[in-house]
Amino acid sequence: MKALLLIDIQNDFVPGGALAVAGGDTIIPLVNELQPRFELVVATQDWHPAGHGSFASSHPGQQPFQQIDLHGLPQTLWPDHCVQATPGAEFHSALNQHRIEAIFRKGTNPDIDSYSGFFDNGHRKATGLTDYLRGRGATQVYLAGLAADYCVYFSAKDALAQGFEVFYIEDATRAISADGYQQARADLLAHGAHVLSAADVR
């Protein structure tokens, strides 16, 4: 069975949000069109506690997008975003949520960031997404959402490592950095992922 995994289509990642991805809101009509083509639709939600260790504001003297070591892992510092129970953490109002069967929250541990919908960045704790997908009989995972070069990329990479066949819906995602996305795309292809457009999804 094939599953559609919607990554972090939240207010803080679209124009006007705290960590906006250029054109992030433009994927939503396409994502809504895609959902009926799948038996299973699952979403992830960035869900940080206030004062999360990945926030630049948690490190006096540091600025967003600087690099630090956070408890033994390299960490990009971000503007405060997707703070639990704030409007920025909510799914975009234009996203059709009626077919979303389950939501997996990530980034809840203040000491470690979590780009992937499957694991935190140190692979120290699983979200339960792998077991959920396997329990529902999914063997193929199609990904859409934000951002192409971070959370969608790392989710796709972990899905491959967990043994799923992975399909990256290129026009249903947007990147923070064009160069970063090209590197991510090349890496996914090298590891056996399929890159396709929404029109190719049957």
Q: Which residues are catalytic?
A: 8, 106, 151
Match 């994927």 to its residue by tokens: 27
CA distance 112 to 122: 8
Q: What strand order describes the sheet that includes 40-46?
A: 100-106, 40-46, 2-7, 140-146, 165-174, 194-196
Decide if 1 contacts 165 (C-beta within 8 A).
no
- Check: CB of residue 113 under 8 Å from CB of residue 54: yes
